[in-house]
Chains A and B, each alone.
Chain A
Amino acid sequence: MGYRAKFEVWRGDASGEGALQPFEVDVNEGEVVLDIVHRLQATQAGDLAVRWNCKAGKCGSCSAEINGRPRLMCMTRMSTFDEQETVTITPLRTFPVIRDLVTDVDFNYVKAREIPSFAPPEDLAPGEYRMSQVDVERPQEFRKCIECYLCQNTCHAVRDHEENKEEFAGPRYLMRVSELDMHPLDVRDRKDAAQDDHGLGYCNITKCCTEVCPEHIKITDNALIPMKERVVDTKYDPLVWLGRKIFKREDLEAKHATGRRSLDDAGPDNGSPLPADSIGPVGG
């Protein structure tokens, strides 16, 4: 049965200024929040900006905050709300607004480029990769990521602290580091870089990334905590730690070979033997 629902939708521009605009709109059985946003565009607010694509929870485009909770609009059923309830839709809070519900998620692309790419053994050409299923199924979980950036948006390390964006790659990209470190054919040592260059230490494992993941990836338990433990293997083992203190110069040189953390400079050649993987700075 259809009903008339109350909505409040953020309308604002790139300055960040704006307001919640009230709407009353028809809702039909089986609809999701994105359907209602499209109805608003069609009937009441033709200039309402919203990013969307697949409407099936697989493209990761329609991320927003619905009643304050980071969600995909296309996967949020209207039947989960009371008919009397006012549904509030706001843009992702961690990223700059371009217009209305559309945010600039460039931060994530920069962080993606900072991660040195997959590095197979030098004597192994593409096409010669052979891996056991049992070895790849663990990192395969992380390949389900649709890059909706809900985890990046929700992580309080950057959501509440813009200044940490320089140092902290966010859960999605720490998961990428973890995925590569677990990859049976990746030969690069990523443990020091995870802590020093990608800010793994900023994660205090409060699991909001896992809570909001629409793909139900166990980001904290299966990627971030295992990566923290791998870092402990090399950085916080007392004997290894003592050796590193004594040979500090070597440590610094090792760091130079990994990704950097500047948002302006994503780093030079990422060291991959595959030319196609060579990525320059954002906008370069």
Chain B
Amino acid sequence: MTTTAHDPGAPSADNPGRADIRARTLRRDRWWLAPLVNALGLATFVVYATIRSFWGSAYYVSEYHYLSPFYSPCFSASCVPGSSHFGTFLPEFPPWLPLALLSLPFLLGFRLTCYYYRKSYYRAFWMSPPACAVSEPHGKYTGETRFPLILQNAHRYFFYFAVLISLINTYDMLVAFQSDAPDGSARFGIGLGNVILLVNVIGLWLYTLSCHSCRHITGGRLKHFSRHPVRYRIWTGISALNTRHMLFAWITIGTLILTDLYIMLVASGTISDLRIVN
């Protein structure tokens, strides 16, 4: 897609015989509201995630083993002690490098190439089109046929990494059920942070498994469902989830921000964790 200026209302020799309607759209409903809300929502997430990824502190509550998803997995020697559940095989990072350097690009790539988010940001930011039957402001359009947008076809490869990272997030969530006892030993405990982490992980799995690429890989690519009854059942289940992919996409934006924010507030001592058990 290009950014060539275009007056959608101008009559064009390239549109022979079309009704010469100069208005960009004749729609009278609030068609601009959905792209506006999408733009605000996505921008909020991008700004928050960027700031927090580079923040470099208040991401781990050592007492309750809460680890922010924006810092998982933490492989650098710069990570707070206890936050590296899988070792620190990477050296210390300079402050301008995010500690979750190995996972964030894949998570970003997974959401950036997601079939739902593509619709959302093509409409909200690129205005291609801003809404149905509303002219886009570009003079030329090549869609996803060329570089760089042809790279959107890599979505399934990001999906594979997203599954791996969801497994890591699940492990982080399970580890957090162990809190530190006064004598320094580990004991089972549940706090509000655990509930938030659990909800976030459930949301992440629902979003990841409802992905269109997952739907294709598990069964969609088959021509004969009848020869693969197990894969057909999986495909049927994923298809049911897939109809709510947009919902899960937005829910996980909310849960990711909420989880990180809560952990940041507890880790920084701004609030204390509401404990339910131990």
Contact = CB atoms under 8 A, between A and B. Distances in A.
Interface of A: 10, 12, 14-18, 65, 67-70, 88, 90-91, 93-97, 104, 132, 134-135, 138, 154, 156-157, 159-164, 181-184, 199, 201-208, 211-212, 221, 225-226, 228-233, 235-236
A134 B136 contact: no
A162 B26 contact: no
Which 7 A-B residue pairs are closest in the complex by CB-CB distance?
Answer: A96-B17, A68-B26, A68-B27, A201-B145, A202-B143, A208-B132, A229-B216
B141 interface: yes
B8 interface: yes
Interface stretch (B99-107, B186-194, B222-230, B262-270): B222-230
Given A97-B18, A135-B224, A202 B145 contact: yes
Contact of A236 (B1, B149, B154, B215): B154
Contacts of B16: 16, 96, 162
Nearest to A10: B19
B7 to A, nearest CB: 12
A184 B222 CA distance: 9
B92 interface: no
Interface stretch (B77-85, B122-130, B200-208): B122-130
A69 B142 CA distance: 24
Given A90-B19, A134-B226, A232-B156, A206 B221 contact: no
A93 B118 contact: no
Contacts of B30: none
Contacts of A90: 19, 21, 26
A208 B15 contact: no
B119 A205 contact: yes
Nearest to A15: B17
B178 interface: no
Given A135-B224, A225-B212, A231-B153, A204 B19 contact: no
A18 B21 CA distance: 8
B212 A157 contact: no
A225 B156 CA distance: 12
19 contacts: A10-B21, A65-B133, A68-B133, A90-B26, A93-B133, A97-B17, A156-B129, A156-B136, A156-B141, A160-B129, A160-B136, A160-B138, A202-B144, A204-B143, A205-B115, A205-B118, A225-B115, A226-B216, A230-B216
Interface residues of B, number: 55
B144 A201 contact: yes
Given A70-B133, A134-B225, A204-B143, A91 B212 contact: no
A156 B128 contact: yes
Interface of B: 1, 6, 8, 11-12, 14-21, 25-29, 115, 118-119, 122-123, 128-129, 132-133, 135-136, 138, 140-145, 149-150, 153-156, 212-213, 215-216, 220-221, 223-226, 232, 242-243
B19 A97 contact: yes
B27 A67 contact: yes
Contact of B20 (A12, A159, A162, A182): A12
A163 B14 contact: yes
Q: Which of A184, A204, A207, A235 has the most CB of B within 10 A?
A: A204
Contacts of A104: 17
B220 A204 contact: no
B129 A203 contact: no
Q: Which of B8, B27, B141, B220 has the most CB of A within 10 A?
A: B141
B17 A164 contact: no
A157 B20 contact: no
B123 to A, nearest CB: 6
Contacts of A202: 141-145
A69 B133 contact: yes
Given A201-B143, A204-B122, A205-B115, A221 B212 contact: yes
Contacts of A232: 153, 155-156
Contacts of A138: 225
Q: Looking at B122, B156, B223, B224, which has the most chain A CB atoms within 10 Å of its CB?
A: B223
Contacts of B243: 221
Nearest to A8: B26
A206 B124 CA distance: 11
Given A132-B225, A157-B141, A208-B132, A96 B28 contact: no
A95 B144 contact: no
Nearest to B243: A221
A206 B119 contact: yes
Given A14-B17, A96-B17, A182 B223 contact: yes
A91 B123 CA distance: 24
Contacts of B212: 221, 225-226, 229
Contacts of B27: 67-69
A221 B136 CA distance: 23
